[in-house]
Amino acid sequence: MDVRQAVGRHGETVVARALEDQGWEVLDRNWRCARGELDIVARDGDCAVAVEVKTRRSDVCGSGLEALTPTKVARLRRLLIAWLDTRVERFAHVRIDAVAVLLPAAGPAQLDHVRGVG
């Protein structure tokens, strides 16, 4: 695993813990199919939420949320449908969220959670 991948995995772990601290249930991490990967799938009440995590070590090149294009959101929507097709359990609602994680040189990670990006 290279440094970039390690930073990304660390960001996903930070987000998964933060979601669990908020009472969410993490159902899957790094779920893959032929079409791509979902970073985190979690339950927020009666809602299945695909959470896209964008981790950066600095904001020099902008927020991780800026990397979330309409094309990427459409792909996440298709991936969430594919994930739902693998489940017996049904959910009343589905949603796609994005979390930008900034890992400063010192101090705790900073999270910017945007709900309902697609």
Question: In the chain, where are the structural domains located?
Answer: 3-114
Question: Looking at the predicted structure, is the pLDDT value of residue 15 above 80?
Answer: yes
Q: Which fold has domain 3-114?
A: Trna Endonuclease; Chain: A, domain 1 (3.40.1350)
Q: How far apart are CA 96 and CA 117, in angstroms?
A: 6
Q: Which positions ≥6 away from 104 have C-beta within 8 Å?
A: 57, 58, 110
Q: Band the pLDDT of 114: cuts 50, 70, 90.
A: very high
Instruction: Report the pLDDT value the prediction gives residue 2, as an integer from 0 to 100.
Output: 80
Chain centre to alpha carbon of residue 60: 22
Read off the pLDDT of residues 31-50 as tens digits, 9 standing for 90 and up. 999 999 999 999 999 999 99
54 within 8 A of 9, measured Cβ to Cβ = no
Question: Looking at the predicted structure, is the pLDDT value of residue 118 above 80?
Answer: no
Q: What is the mean pLDDT of residues 77-93?
A: 96
**Sequence-ordered alpha helix ranges (H) in 1-118:** 3-21, 70-85
Chain centre to alpha carbon of residue 94: 14
Provide the 8-state DSSP code for 115: -
Instruction: Report the pLDDT value the prediction gives residue 74, as an integer from 0 to 100.
Output: 96
pTM beyond 0.75? yes
